[in-house]
Amino acid sequence: MDPINTGEASPVVRVQAGALRGRREGAAHVWRGVPYARPPVGDLRWRAPRPCLAWDGERDAATFGLAPPQAGPSDVADIVSIGGAPEPTSEDCLTLNLWAPIAARGAPVMVWLHGGSNRMGAGSLPFYDGAAFARDGVVLVTANYRLGQLGFFAHPALTAATPADEPLGAPGLLDQIAVLEWVRDNIAVFGGDPANVTLFGESAGGIDILALMTAGRARGLFHKAIVQSGGGWLPAAPLKAAEAKGLATATALGLTDPDAAALRAVPAGQLTAIESGFGPVIDGRLLTRDPISSWARGDFADVPLMIGVNSGEDSLLNYGGGLQRFGRMIRPNAALARLYPEAKGDEEQLIRLGFRDFGFAGPARWIASRPRRSRAWLYAFDYVEDAKRDQKSRADHAAEIFHVFETLDHRPDGSPPASDTDRAVSAGMHARWIAFARDGVPGADWPAYDSRTDDWMVFDHTPGGVLRRGWWQRALDHHERKAKLLILLLRTRDRLRTLFSGTRG
C-alpha cells in the first residue's frame, strides 16, 4: 500500500479495498465516508459485519456517510440537541472518517466511539471533528456503527439462523471491532502507527469499551483506552433476557412467530420506533460472562487506561423519565442526606448525586483500582463554561467532549460563544488526551491511580487540571460497599452459567 502523496490538495491513498481521494484541510488530510464493511442490509441485517467489496478507480472521500437509523427518548422533540444525528439516515451506514497530520509517519492513532445510549449518534457530528488532533500529531478515526434495535437485538429465530461461531445480540459491538481491524490493516498508509492505537469513547461508547476490554476478539486491536462517563457497574444482558426483549419487540410489531427472514424484512423505521435499553449481551461467544464479573476477576485487557466522570452526570435524568425511574431505585433518606450535606436535604438533589456516584463515579474509581500490570489514571470533569455558571454549578453529562475535541464552537445546544477561560481549559484537557495517546502517560504531574492515596485529576477552571486527593471519597466508599452484593451476584450467575453450559471459565 502506497503512502500519502503529501503534495496534493486532494491526497490519494490505497487501502485494501481500493484507492481513496481525500481533502487537505488546514493542517490535516481528511477522508470521510470510508466504508469498512459491507452494508448490513437484507440477509446481513443483525449478522457480523463482512469485509467491504473492492472498488475500481478512485473513490471520492470528501463527504460523510449517512448516519445509522436512530431515535431518542419520546419526550425529546429534537435528538440533535442531545447528541443524535439528523436525517437522512440509512442502514447502509458502516463508514469511518479520518483526520491525519500532513506528512505523518508513525503517528499515534485514536479511535473514537461516540455516546448516545447506543441508540443515537454518529461519527460525523461536528463536535467530533478531528482537526485539533491532527494539528497535534494524532491520526483520529471516528466511525458509525449499528444502533438501537438494529445494533443491539436478539431473538430466538435469529439465534437459530446464526452459525454457531458467530456472536449474537450485539452486532453494534462487532462493528466496533471491525473498525479496529480495519485500522490495524490500513492505518499505516495514512501515517498512523498500527501498534499505537488508543480506543476512547464517552457514555455508551465508554460502556462498550469496558465490554470490549473483556472480549477475546478485541484483544490486541488497541493498546490504550480512555473511558469518559462509561460507568462500570451496569450489568450486561444475558442472551435469554435479550431474546425475551426481542420477542416483545416482534410482538409490538405484530409478529407473533416470525422467522429470521420476516424479522429482516421489517422496515428500519418501525424497529427504531420501539424504545428499549441497548448494550452488550452475554452470548457465550463474544462475551462469555458479564463484563463486571470479568473486571472483578482480573480478566480484561491489561492496557493503560484513563477513566473519569463529570460532576453533573445527573443531567441524564432530565429526559426519558430518568428522574422518576431512578428516584424509585434510590430512596432519599437520612443516611443519604448525611453523605451529601451539600444537598441540604433536598430529595431531588439527593437522587441526582446518588445517580452520579453509583452510576458513574463509584464504578469509575472501582475500575481504576483493579489490580493490573499496566497503570490507570482517574479524573473528574468539574468545569462549567463562563456563560452558564448562573444556571448550573456542575458539568453536564457529555460536556467534556467539546473540550477534549476543542470543538466549543460546534456545540449542538445553542451555547453562547466560548470565553478565553473556556478555551484555555479546553486546550489543557485536550493536551492530556494527546499526551496519553502519544506516550501512554497523561503527564508527569498526574500520578497513576492508587487506592491508598485516591488521587484524582480534577478539571476545573485550572488549565490542565489540578490534583485532588479523596475526591467524593466518603460517598463513593458507601456506594462501593453497596455494589459488592451486585458484583457477587453477577459472579455467581456467571459461575452457574459456566457450570450448566459445560464450558470452562
Written as nine digits, the cell of 432 is: 492530556
- Which residues lie closer than 8 Å to 254 by C-beta, 6 or more apart? none
Specify whether the CB–CB gap between 167 and 186 falls below 8 A: no
Q: What are phi and psi of 48, to 5 degrees?
A: -60, 145
Cα 77 to Cα 339: distance, rounded to the nearest angstrom? 36
Q: Which residues contact 296 (CB under 8 A, 6 or more apart)?
A: 370, 487, 490, 491
Amino acid code (one letter) for 72: G
**474: amino acid identity, one letter:** R
Nearest residue to 95 via CA among 14, 36, 15: 36
Beta pairing class for 376-381 and 455-459: parallel
313 an active-site residue?
A: yes
Cα 274 versus chain centre, distance: 22
CA distances from 60 to 12, 292, 395, 490 (A): 9, 43, 40, 48
The question of whether 393 is a catalytic residue gets the answer no
Question: Cβ neighbours of residue 169 under 8 Å, at least 6 residues apart?
Answer: 152, 153, 154, 237, 239, 242, 243, 281, 283
H/E element, 172: helix 171-186
d(CA 391, CA 69): 34
Is 203 strand, coil or helix? coil
Determine contact, residues 110/143, Cβ cutoff 8 Å: no
State the angle between helix axes of 204-212 and 171-186 in degrees (0 to 180), rounded to the nearest 10: 70
397 catalytic? Reply is: yes
Q: Which of 117, 124, 203, 293 is catalytic?
A: 203
Catalytic choice (91, 202, 243, 313): 313
Three-state secondary-structure class, residue 309: strand
Distances from the Cα of 188 to the Cα of 59, 194, 481, angstroms:
19, 6, 46
Catalytic residue, chosen from 223, 397, 478, 479, is: 397
DSSP state of 297: T
Task: Compute the distance between CA of residue 152 and CA of residue 193 in angstroms, rounded to an integer.
Answer: 31
Smallest CA-to-CA distance from 463 within 494, 490, 503, 431 is with 431
Total H helices, total E strands in the chain: 16, 16
How many whole angstroms separate alpha carbon 434 and alpha carbon 306? Answer: 12
Phi-psi region of 446 (alpha: psi -120 to 50; beta: other; left: phi over 0): beta
DSSP string, 62-93: -SPPPBPP----TT-S-GGGGTPPPSPB-S--
Catalytic sites, residue numbers: 203, 313, 397
